[in-house]
A and B are shown apart, each in its own frame.
Chain A
């Protein structure tokens, strides 16, 4: 655990006014928001920015952070700080006020992030200073009339194309929110075996009912949504249910015609390359794409690969081909 310099995170001065802080937050949030920025670090950066803003926008939290945060040290002292903080600014931890009010930002999980005050993931530093967020179930008394479905969670899984053809069971590791004995929300690592349905398309989501965040006040648990992504591979691409496979072919195979074997997911096939096939020619195999009630098609795309003229024999053959009276630029005009 380490000290978090929230002013530095937002790039503002310690004396910055609320307006400056808000402006700095918005600028960084637009830059790093995971819905806008798909780069790997974006989500981590955004969480840091959101946490800093969570503290600095709130006069009470900012004051507590200024007082206790800067000289924060590991060990017993921080417990003392937390106590002082509660004494000074709150009635008691986990009772009404602070606990039930909840945070209005955050609420992230491992595989993505989600909306809601039902769960939050802050740095250890934050939780040591302000305490963990408590659910209203633990904050006693008032929760009787209040119940809500738990938070929906997001995760993703990358599968080989073959799984979409045959279906499979894949393991997925993630942090799932649980409510511990004290009523605090914690994240517990869990490994799930998830069935990948045959015929699943890239980018589609699978819903696992009840595997999301715990419900509040007797509400039912949220759902876990798993986004399925195909492994990226330069030898194929997929558009909807149609699969395009690039098959490398020697010039003479394309010119003279030849049967070549194509490693199609779900079993290889023999494919007849018609005589005189140009590079880029597509051969369609109806219904051999991603399986479903109306299965997609499989396109074998011919990609002519030329042998290097690296030894005497190949050089000689290329020299001989010069005598072919072939003009590749016969129809070349700009």
Chain B
């Protein structure tokens, strides 16, 4: 009888994942480096060290940038519009978490 081998996949927790540099972030999110710079100046994403010669970003930044890209594409937003949307979505999430804590 054929033995069933169950493969178990082990992933990497992305907070422990390697930081991404500008090139990687730009390629993975299909965004130009100039636009990434704009997102930093708009406060949507933050480099690990602003003063560093070459910026690097936490791997969680990937998800923020992807979200920005979806919003821009699907809702025809420009970068300041997407930045405001992100800020409001963050605020909503924060408030929802607060409500959840107080209704338990």
Contact = CB atoms under 8 A, between A and B. Distances in A.
Interface of A: 26, 29-30, 33, 35-36, 46, 50, 104-105, 113-116, 149, 152, 169, 192-195, 197, 200, 204-209, 211, 224-226, 234, 237, 239, 246
Given A105-B73, A234-B104, A204 B13 contact: yes
B8 A205 contact: no
Contacts of B73: 104-105, 115
Given A33-B75, A246-B104, A207 B12 contact: yes
Contacts, number: 83
B41 interface: no
B15 to A, nearest CB: 6
Interface in B1-23: 6-15, 17
B33 interface: no
A149 B75 contact: no
Q: Is the interface of A mostly helix, strand, loop or mixed?
A: mixed
Contacts of A114: 66
15 contacts: A29-B75, A33-B71, A35-B70, A46-B74, A115-B29, A116-B30, A195-B9, A195-B11, A197-B13, A204-B13, A205-B63, A207-B14, A207-B59, A209-B11, A246-B104
A190 to B, nearest CB: 11
A162 to B, nearest CB: 18
A197 B71 CA distance: 32
A29 B72 CA distance: 11
Contacts of A50: 74
Q: How big is chain B's contact interface, by range?
A: 20 to 34
B66 A115 contact: yes
Contacts of A224: 11
A105 B71 CA distance: 11
Contacts of B11: 194-195, 197, 206-209, 224, 226
A95 B63 CA distance: 33
Interface in B21-80: 27-30, 59-60, 63, 66-67, 69-71, 73-76
A113 B7 CA distance: 26
A23 B85 CA distance: 19
Contacts of B76: 26
A206 B91 CA distance: 25
A133 to B, nearest CB: 17
A195 B10 contact: yes
Given A115-B69, A204-B14, 16 more contacts: A33-B70, A35-B71, A35-B89, A36-B85, A113-B70, A116-B30, A195-B8, A195-B9, A200-B13, A205-B13, A205-B60, A207-B13, A207-B17, A225-B63, A237-B104, A239-B101
B101 to A, nearest CB: 6
Given A35-B67, A205-B63, A225 B7 contact: no
Contacts of B89: 35-36
Contacts of A152: 28, 66
